[in-house]
Amino acid sequence: MIPFMSEGRNPASFDPNTSTLRPFAAGDVFIGATLLNNTEDDHAGRGRILQFDADLNLKGVLWTEGTSHLVGGLSFGPDDTLWAFDSFAWVVVRVKPNGSPLPTKKFADRPFGSVQFLENGNFVLVEYLKGSSQPEGLTTRYPYLPDDPESVGRGEIWEYGADENFVRSYIPEVHGGVSGSMGATHTTLASDGHTLIYTSETGPRVMRFDLQAGTQLADLMTLPDAAPGRPPAMVFDVEHLTGDKVVLPLGTKVTVITEGGEEVSSFPLDGFGWALIAPGANGATVYAANWFTGEVAKVSLDNGNILARVTIAPKCLSGIVQFQG
């Protein structure tokens, strides 16, 4: 399928002063695709969330307010509000289903990067960063915490009530990823509703934490060491799929495993850099995004065929989700 990128539908043609996000329709795909326009900081720019239909035809754009860097960690709340995060500015972006944004909010001076909603009406915000390491080979720099000036984050889980007041915090294990500064970067809830499944982006582990008991669990999966001379094995995103299955982008492929760690299926994708995943609304597809190329592909879970694809821009994609309706 040739992506629909005619005049007025190419992201580069959107007026940066005008948001054109439409009311959410079942099947719409939302992608955090910040316009990286700061020559001194390769992760900084005008925050932007793009809206596509299920076949990746572009429908609209939201220019975010109060953000400074990559806007990612997209997910929907129980009321169908779209949530997104700027882990550098420590703010949360929220958009109502009619397409209108709520005021950008800072819950705390912490680099939150994802949210999960619990059955009791509470929700957890999870820190994207941990430690003091700054990324090598990049011009961007993570801000240090006001209450811990040698740390860019603590990798903690903060629980909030439905009234958005702080309840408690948890300290999970994290791997740190290649940079050593990655916290729990990508999260999802298991089918039991209280086991957090998460990754430290670019690390080899898929980890688990029981939010009900407040305890660390054994890893769901750890990738084996790569053969000599080969790039290290990496896990990026993780999402609950259907039933007891979760789906992972592993850089060069999409893999489905059970919550017991057994592989169900795996499909290769062209090139390296497939780092984001979103389950399709029908349970038969996923949307995968490539960090390096900026490509997004709608992939069949039956045979791995690509059903639709679009290219946005390199190194700006940091969140993707499909609206279930």
Q: Which is higher by pLDDT, 11 or 46?
A: 46
Task: Note whether residue 184 is domain-resident.
Answer: yes
pLDDT band at 10 (very low <50, low <70, confident <90, very high): low
Instruction: For residues 71-95, give the mean pLDDT.
Output: 98
pTM above 0.75, yes or no: yes
pLDDT tens sequence across 119-141: 999 999 999 999 999 999 999 99
Q: Which amino acid is at 313?
A: A
pLDDT band at 7 (very low <50, low <70, confident <90, very high): very low
pLDDT at position 11, please?
67
CA dihedral (45, 27, 298, 208) positive or negative: positive
Q: 313: which residues sit within 8 A by CB, 6+ positions away?
A: 11, 33, 35, 36, 294
Q: How many CA within 13 A on the CB side of residue 199?
A: 28
Phi, psi of 169 (to 5 degrees): -130, 160
Q: Is the pLDDT of residue 82 over 60?
A: yes
pLDDT band at 228 (very low <50, low <70, confident <90, very high): confident
Task: Note whether residue 294 is domain-resident.
Answer: yes
| Number of domains making up the chain | 1
Task: Note whether residue 70 is domain-resident.
Answer: yes
Task: Note whether residue 133 is domain-resident.
Answer: yes
Task: Note whether residue 3 is domain-resident.
Answer: no
Alpha-carbon distance 204 to 60, whole Å? 36
Task: Note whether residue 200 is domain-resident.
Answer: yes
pLDDT at position 2, please?
33
Cβ 4 vs Cβ 294: under 8 Å:
no
Q: Is the pLDDT of residue 302 over 70?
A: yes
Joined together, the tokens standing for residue 116 give 């999960």
pLDDT at position 1, please?
32
pLDDT tens sequence across 162-178: 999 999 999 999 999 99
Share of the chain above pLDDT 70, in %: 95
Q: Which is higher by pLDDT, 16 or 257?
A: 257
Task: Note whether residue 301 is domain-resident.
Answer: yes
pLDDT band at 181 (very low <50, low <70, confident <90, very high): very high
Q: 303: which residues sit within 8 A by CB, 6+ positions away?
A: 267
pLDDT at position 65, please?
96
pLDDT at position 233, please?
84
pLDDT at position 289, please?
98
- CATH number of the domain at 296, please: 2.120.10.30
Task: Note whether residue 1 is domain-resident.
Answer: no
Q: Which domain holds residue 44?
A: 11-322
Instruction: For residues 1-17, give the mean pLDDT.
Output: 51
From 244, 300, 306, select the one nearest 271 (Cα to Cα).
306
